[in-house]
Amino acid sequence: MIDFVVLALLTIITASTPLVFAAIGEIVVEKAGVLNLGVEGMMIVGAIGAFAVAVTTGDPTLAILAGAASGLVLAFIFGFLTLYLLSNQVATGLALTLFGIGFSALLGNGFVGQTYGGLPHLDIPILSDLPFVGQLIFGQDVLVYLSVFSALGVTWFLGRTRWGLAVRAVGENHDAAHSIGFSVTLIRMGAVLFGGAMAGLGGAYLSLAHTPLWVENMTAGRGWIALALVVFASWKPWRAFFGAYLFGGITIVQLHAQGFGVDVPSQILSMLPYLATIVVLVLISRDGSRARLNAPACLGRSFHASG
């Protein structure tokens, strides 16, 4: 029984980590007042970028960096279009997702069917062999630790640093932030790039650790679920972290339900994460005034210095 619980918890961590990265990254983007709906596209390009480098070089560090860089490049396209050419953020985000899915399929064409050994796990002599907690706490790969650290880091950055304050300022009132001398465009660009790198890391985790191979469309809507998590979390990093684990848990229930002899077709069970997303969104947005209170006031609005 203990073994089963450990196994289930391990799979929950695996299923949740990509969502943590993508959601925490998007929180910073949206806190800066930018709505980037291209998370799915940045994730999938991060996934193939990381996988391609992993298979070619065999170096996990390079692969992780490549994942982050791939997401960053896509985010730069988005940032350039929305911040400098003032294009509609909703439409540009959709374009980023459509482009990312096509572009990743093109890049991944030569990598279909190849496999990668997976990321190395932490192995501390005594600690990692402890019963129960050993594997869970001291036996993860570097990206899992990084995802926890990112929740901590972003909470600290947004709440406790001068630049975090600047990010929140341009998200709440870009005209006021501009008038006291902040460069709205540059700060937003920084946030967008950070969000892209994080989504890329989420994708990298998928193709390096979750299922270490390349399949077209392998993100399967996780980028969109991450966007829903941001709303669910009321733009708070820690709530997004636990939200991601809640979703990871739902995914696992679905995987294990059949093991327990639940007689429901697998496809119906696979609908659970998507249906749960809808339910969660309804619960959180039911109280309209509260949702509006939490959302950054300038979310989705373009800024041009001439007004």
Partner 1 sequence: MLIRLEPRAEASRAMVYQSPLIAVVLTLIAGMIMFRILGTDPLQAVHAFFIEPISTVQGLAELLIKATPLILIGVGLALGFQANIWNIGAEGQLTLGAIFGGIVALAFFDVESIFLLPAMLIAGIVGGMLWAAVPAFLKTRYNTNEILTSLMLVYVSFLLLSYLITGPLRDPDGFNFPESRLFHDSALLPIILEGTRLHLGFLVALLFAVLAWLMIVKHIIGFQIKVIGMAPAAASFAGFKEKKLVWLTLLISGGAAGLAGAIEVSGPIGQVIPVVSPGYGFTAIIVAFLGRLHPIGVVLAGILMALTYLGGDSAQITMNLPNAVTGVFQGMLLFFLLASDVLIRYRIKLGAPRVREVTQRQEGVT
- Which parts of this chain interact with partner 1 (CB under 8 A)? 37, 77, 81, 85-88, 90-92, 94-96, 98-103, 105-106, 109, 216, 220-221, 224-225, 227-228, 231, 265, 267-268, 270-271, 274-275, 277-278, 281-282, 285-286, 288, 291, 304, 306-307
108 neighbors 51 (Cβ within 8 angstroms): yes
The structure tokens listed for 41 are 């596209």
User: DSSP string spanning 200-246?
Assistant: HHHHHHIIIIIS-B--TTTTTTHHHHHHHHHHHTTT-HHHHHHHHHH
Burial of 265 (0-12, 13-18, 19+ CB in 10 A): exposed
* Cα distance between residue 226 and residue 223, in whole Å: 5
* Cα distance between residue 152 and residue 93, in whole Å: 27
How distant, in Å, are the alpha carbons of 100, 192, 211 from that of 72?
12, 8, 22
If you ran DSSP here, which 8-state letter would residue 119 be given?
A: P
What residue type is assigned to position 72 of the chain? L
